[in-house]
Amino acid sequence: MGKFVFPNTKDLNRMTASGRPLIFVTNDDGVQAAGIAALIKLATEFGDVVAVAPNESYSGMSHSITMHRPLFVSAVTCEPGLEVYSCTGTPVDCVKIGFDEIFKDRIPDLVLSGINHGSNANISVIYSGTMGAATEAALYGIPSIGFSLTDHSPAADFTASVHYAREIIAQVLAMPAERLAGLCLNVNIPDIPLAEIKGIKVCRQTKGNWREDFVHRTDPHNRDYYWMSGKFYNFEHEAEDSDEWALTHGYVAVVPVQMDLTDYSRIETLREHIGR
């Protein structure tokens, strides 16, 4: 059994021995990305920080885990109040190895994932390694927040993202413990200047899906290959409670996320067709 001690609700949101909250940070763009550097710096304003992030980009890795090969972990930074590790696994692996092998009997107060280079709003949440890590942390009982900026560029400007992440982290750390158990937030920040952002909206996941357009070419060795690209199709442009509406209208979108995938609405009709 893993070494991580599962928290009771009363253990959440307590201070560490240093008198500060303990904050775990990860991402899916890799430990070298500008987005996690911005998030680690912000997290140190709030508490002691332990970061474990992939050694390369694991974008689009969803909730995947590495079962069939070993993982290697390297210390990148070890200062008082700030430890950063690089791991050869997926974002979810980073959470598991962070909790079970690095924290052991320490319990983090909060897990932050990101800041992702690119949107994880709408159905993108299910493909996202950033949100895979955040939801995994929530399964351990630790409140978590995934942050994503709607700009894929490696040189994206995280000024507005950090501003709103600071506000949301402070609000979450101030929430009563009974509202923190299992909390997982998918926060997306629109790629517009800070002064143009109208505020924060709590919303739901937009209905829609991705449509792919594979680039089909021949490689230098005369083999056909396909390279994925795609575009999100929004099925409900006018839905004011959807995260896409919030983003396109200049708001930071906050969607609470949970991991019970059961489609309760179908259970009764299925019992008519398939089994009791």
Q: Indicate the residue type of 141.
A: G
Q: Which of 33, 97, 121, 165 binds a second copy (CB under 8 A)?
A: 97
For residue 181, the 8-state DSSP code is T
Sign of CA dihedral 30, 110, 101, 65: negative
Query: Could you say which residues in the range 174-203 bind a second copy, by CB under 8 A?
Result: 174-175, 179, 183-186, 199-202
Q: Indicate the residue type of 267.
A: I
Q: Which of 72, 81, 153, 159 binds a second copy (CB under 8 A)?
A: 72
Of the candidates 259, 199, 205, 193, the one whose C-alpha atom is nearest the C-alpha of residue 236 is 205
Q: Which of 50, 52, 123, 165 binds a second copy (CB under 8 A)?
A: 123
**What x/- string results for residues 25 through 54 when contact with a second copy is judged by CB under 8 A?**
------------------------------
Query: Could you say which residues in the range 9-28 bind a second copy, by CB under 8 A?
Result: none
In the numeric block, the tokens 């002691």 are attached to 48
83 binds a second copy (CB under 8 A): no
211 binds a second copy (CB under 8 A): yes
Q: Which of 96, 115, 121, 161 binds a second copy (CB under 8 A)?
A: 96
Q: Which is nearer to a second copy, 113 or 205 (CB)?
A: 205
Q: Indicate the residue type of 146.
A: G
Sign of CA dihedral 181, 141, 99, 86: negative
CB of 109 to a second copy, least distance (A): 16
CB of 80 to a second copy, least distance (A): 24
Query: Could you say which residues in the range 139-178 bind a second copy, by CB under 8 A?
Result: 139-140, 168, 171-172, 174-175
In the numeric block, the tokens 């501003």 are attached to 163
How far apart are the two ends of the chain, measured CA to CA in Å? 35
Paired tokens of 190? 């629109």
What are the beta bridge partners of residue 231?
A: 211
234 binds a second copy (CB under 8 A): no
Paired tokens of 66? 């590495």
232 binds a second copy (CB under 8 A): no
Q: CA–CA separation, 273 vs 54, rounded Å?
A: 45
Paired tokens of 235? 């099925």
Query: Could you say which residues in the range 242-271 bind a second copy, by CB under 8 A?
Result: 251-252, 254-267, 269-271
